[in-house]
Amino acid sequence: GNSVTQMEGPVTLSEEAFLTINCTYTATGYPSLFWYVQYPGEGLQLLLKATKADDKGSNKGFEATYRKETTSFHLEKGSVQVSDSAVYFCALSDGGSARQLTFGSGTQLTVLP
């Protein structure tokens, strides 16, 4: 079955630090990969996505590259801000019969001023 393994949190960084949140996956077929973000008190929002190998998703300074050879989709940002404090979820959709998103367990990020 499908699975997503995500870096355990919580992660605490100082403002302007470099962020990496690791995500690896197991799936049949050719999944699409997503990062969702959940800000405090809000619902899940799509942050970025990639639909095929070597695609790079990017949004709000965040980037993630779909690496088929390593089955990874690590989230990176060069300089985090306090406003980036949130829970980040890696997810996949394999477009097969499951037709559902498989989520990682989430990583809590706290950015200190």
Partner 1 sequence: GAGVSQSPSNKVTEKGKDVELRCDPISGHTALYWYRQSLGQGLEFLIYFQGNSAPDKSGLPSDRFSAERTGGSVSTLTIQRTQQEDSAVYLCASSLVLRQGGWNTEAFFGQGTRLTVV
The piece of 16-24, 29-37, 65-73, 77-85 that touches partner 1 (CB under 8 A) is: 29-37
Give the separation between CA 52 and CA 66, rounded to whole angstroms.
7
Of residues 55-94, which lie at the interface with partner 1 (CB under 8 A)? 89, 93
The two structure tokens encoding residue 94: 């394999």
The piece of 13-21, 31-39, 59-67, 75-83 that touches partner 1 (CB under 8 A) is: 31-39
Minimum distance from residue 12 beta carbon to partner 1 (Å): 17
The full 3-state SS of 8-67, as one line of letters, equals: CCCEEEECCCCEEECEEEECCCCCEEEEEEECCCCCEEEEEEECCCCCEEEECCEEEECE
- Contacts with partner 1, residue ranges (CB under 8 A): 6, 32, 34, 36, 42-46, 49, 51, 89, 93, 95-96, 98-106
